[in-house]
Amino acid sequence: MKISEIFGSMVFNDDVMRERLPKEVYKSLTKTIATGKTIDASVADVVANAMKDWAIEKGATHYTHWFQPLTGVTAEKHDSFISPVGNCKVVMEFSGKELIKGESDASSFPSGGLRATFEARGYTAWDPASYAFVKDGTLYIPTAFCSYTGEALDTKTPLLRSMDAISEQGLRLIRFFGDTATKRLTTTVGAEQEYFIIDKELYNKRKDLIYSGRTLFGAPAPKGQQLEDHYFGPLKSRISAFMSDLDVALWTLGINSKTKHNEAAPSQHELAPIYATTNMAVDQNLLIMEYMKKTAEKHGLVCLLHEKPYAGVNGSGKHNNWSLTTDGGKNLLDPGKTPAENAKFLIILAAILKAVDDYQDLMRISVAFAGNDHRLGGNEAPPAIVSVFLGEELDMIIDSIVNGDEYESKKAGIMDLGIPSIPTFRKDTTDRNRTSPFAFTGNKFEFRMLGSAQNIAMPNIVLNTAVAESFRQFADVLEDAEDFDEALTKLLRETFAAHRRIIFDGNGYSEEWEKEAKERGLLNLRTSVDAYKCFDLEKNIELFERHGVMSRVEVASRKDILFENYSKIINIEALTMIEMASRDILPAVSRYIGDMAAAANAKQTLISGVSCLVETETVKKLSTLSEKTYRKIDELRRINDKAIKAGDYNKVAEICCNKVLPVMEELRALVDEMETLTASEYWPLPSYGDMMFRI
């Protein structure tokens, strides 16, 4: 198999378009893609036909509009290309209209009240900027998903709008630095994906994994990750075979799967692709997650994408590497070598700091999910407090700008503007602060709070829009300036002074940071529920509306869906625990107690007065614990019922977070203790040790 031949072979990419489309049509389509404009109907017909012919050659019989509803996963509905001719013949057809727009009964997708059920129709609209592809005999057409009144019912539409916003405002800003050639700015994203692998047979024995994606019970194994022998360790052969298959599947779809390695926790791994334009990176990450699951199945394995499958070892996240590039391919987060490039870099840096500081709440919301709450703030992932890591060199430059002193460095000079210039620094002088939620890594920022299971659209929507807003404000100031150099220097000084509080280079896991962050006035939104409440603050609605990214109702609907989704997840987890504890665990413990008691009796009959300490102590301890468990199950049932009946989902979520979760924890503690006292052959669930080490 030649990798270079299979790579992208199932993608209707630029090469294929150039080869298969008439010159004029190709030109018109690429222009549409580059400028983000809508496509001409006549062009669409030609493209559709070429796409269909190509797809049929690749074995496709169907096509589907592929979209990202607010469930967080993808949705598809397959239609075949067949079209009847007369009574007993068909031809394969696909029109421009079918390519551009699809109708979909949207009533079963969450809309947060956006679309009353009597207006159940939604439509999908082709996103020409994401390539179509063939998989499983179907042509997949990436689309946006909207209601008939035009509200976005998906994650892609606001993402595309946010990409337009940052481009529009960014172009205004870079014009001041003499860049007149650039016509469009794009954000690029590389999302590193963490995941766990478990043997399928063991997985099938755990209702908690099946229903909720994480273990709700489980005493720790004697070995966890304390030896740190798994990180970057050699790959086990089953894992290696799985990864190779996965790579091939992804390469076929044109996804640059580049790096794979073992992660910190036992049976945890990571895949990193090469970065792509944001909308493509989002599509690709969704496909990566889908293929991880599918490919694992083929190998008798299951891929766990949950943020915290196992207590006591690291959970999984995603690192969203983010940068901003001109259509000429220049990365604007590269500090650059000339004074003008330096100044441009500094103003962009200032804009990003301001954006993250002004919209800490939105950054936090964009990664807030029931699953991710087990990580953020735990001693492994970045804390729930949003802060920025820049590295010593940039910190010193910012200090000197704020204080107005000269920046003392052998490598640095002073620019005309009176702004210290940035020496070209090596990438490795930045980063390697693993505890920072948002770290500068030389020519990009790495947003590290994302959960492993989430769609990466929202964090990028927030970043793009918040930075667009900083750009807008800066461009307004500079446009009105009489003396540009003076205005720029003042703007930098003021912005850095005002937003320096968001910079933090120390240990984000420490308690001192929590205290210090509070003194600095930074937000600490501990739980998803705390975070969601801030979503529709007036300043946030204003931000999204001003840049045409989301309307007030679109924000409201997303907030509702977040609360609803959170509530449902906790409810399912509580019910799963109740089911497992009462129907599997208590009966098993009872059986063991019975057998121990019988053994003690038998021993006494055989040798009167013989020691039965082990049996009696075990029976005593387990009897006490199982009684407590029994009562705790009742308590959990009651509080979960109360939550469900609370009415609005924001109220349900509040009870779930503050009342249901703590009782779940208490129930778990009782059951986990029983596990350590019960003989393994009686315990109805595979142990932590089995699940993490037996692959």
Under rule CB under 6 A, residue 623 binds ligand ADP: no
Q: Contact at 8 Å (CB) between 56 and 85? A: no
Under rule CB under 6 A, residue 678 binds ligand ADP: no
Q: Contact at 8 Å (CB) between 660 and 168? A: no
Q: Give the number of other CB atoms < 10 A from CB of residue 676.
A: 9
Site for ligand ADP in 329-368 (CB under 6 A): 331
Under rule CB under 6 A, residue 203 binds ligand ADP: no
Q: How far is the CB of 162 from ligand ADP (least distance, A)?
A: 16
Site for ligand ADP in 304-323 (CB under 6 A): 321-323
Q: Which of 61, 107, 409, 443 binds ligand ADP (CB under 6 A)?
A: 443
Residues 641-660 as x/- pattern, contact with ligand ADP by CB under 6 A: --------------------
Enclosing H/E stretch for 629: helix 613-644
The span of 37-45, 91-99, 266-274, 562-570 binding ligand ADP (CB under 6 A) equals 266-274
Whole-angstrom Cα distance, residue 616 to residue 621? 9
Which residue lies nearer to ligand ADP by CB, 170 or 377?
Answer: 170
Q: How far is the CB of 296 from ligand ADP (least distance, A)?
A: 21
Which residue lies nearer to ligand ADP by CB, 30 or 443?
Answer: 443
**Which segments of 87-135 does DSSP mark as H helices, in order?**
96-100
Q: Minimal CB distance to ligand ADP: which residue? A: 190
The span of 74-82, 268-276, 371-379, 578-586 binding ligand ADP (CB under 6 A) equals 268-276
Which residue lies nearer to ligand ADP by CB, 155 or 193?
Answer: 193
Which residue lies nearer to ligand ADP by CB, 142 or 190?
Answer: 190
Under rule CB under 6 A, residue 128 binds ligand ADP: no
Q: How far is the CB of 322 from ligand ADP (least distance, A)?
A: 6
Provide the β-strand partners of residue 152.
Answer: 146
Which residue lies nearer to ligand ADP by CB, 331 or 551?
Answer: 331
Which residue lies nearer to ligand ADP by CB, 429 or 601?
Answer: 429
Under rule CB under 6 A, residue 273 binds ligand ADP: yes
Which residue lies nearer to ligand ADP by CB, 147 or 193?
Answer: 193
Number of residues this chain uses to bind ligand ADP (CB under 6 A): 15
Which residue lies nearer to ligand ADP by CB, 246 or 531?
Answer: 246
The DSSP-derived string for 194-263 is EEEEEEHHHHHT-HHHHHHSS-S--PPPS-SSTT--STTPPPPHHHHHHHHHHHHHHHHTT--EEEEEE-
Which residue lies nearer to ligand ADP by CB, 215 or 285?
Answer: 285
| Residues contacting 303, CB < 8 A, separation 6+ | 195, 196, 197, 292, 293, 295, 296
Under rule CB under 6 A, residue 428 binds ligand ADP: no
The DSSP-derived string for 517-583 is HHHTT-----SHHHHHTTTT-HHHHHHHHHTTS--HHHHHHHHHHHHHHHHHHHHHHHHHHHHHIII
Q: How far is the CB of 364 from ligand ADP (least distance, A)?
A: 22
Q: Please tell me the total number of residues recorded for the chain in this structure.
A: 695
Whole-angstrom Cα distance, residue 582 to residue 589? 11
Whole-angstrom Cα distance, residue 465 to residue 189? 15
Closest CA to 106 of 60, 54, 158, 68: 68
Under rule CB under 6 A, residue 189 binds ligand ADP: yes
Provide the β-strand partners of residue 414.
Answer: 420
Under rule CB under 6 A, residue 444 binds ligand ADP: yes
Closest CA to 296 of 252, 250, 243: 243
Q: Which of 44, 272, 488, 581 binds ligand ADP (CB under 6 A)?
A: 272
Q: What are phi and psi of 531, to 5 degrees?
A: -70, -50
**Which segments of 425-483 does DSSP mark as H helices, in order?**
457-479
Distance of CA 586 to the CA centre of its chain: 37
Three-state DSSP at 315 gives coil
- State which amino acid sits at residue 560: D
Which residue lies nearer to ligand ADP by CB, 49 or 331?
Answer: 331
Where along the sequence are the contacts to ligand ADP (CB under 6 A)? Answer: 188-190, 192, 272-275, 321-323, 331, 441, 443-444
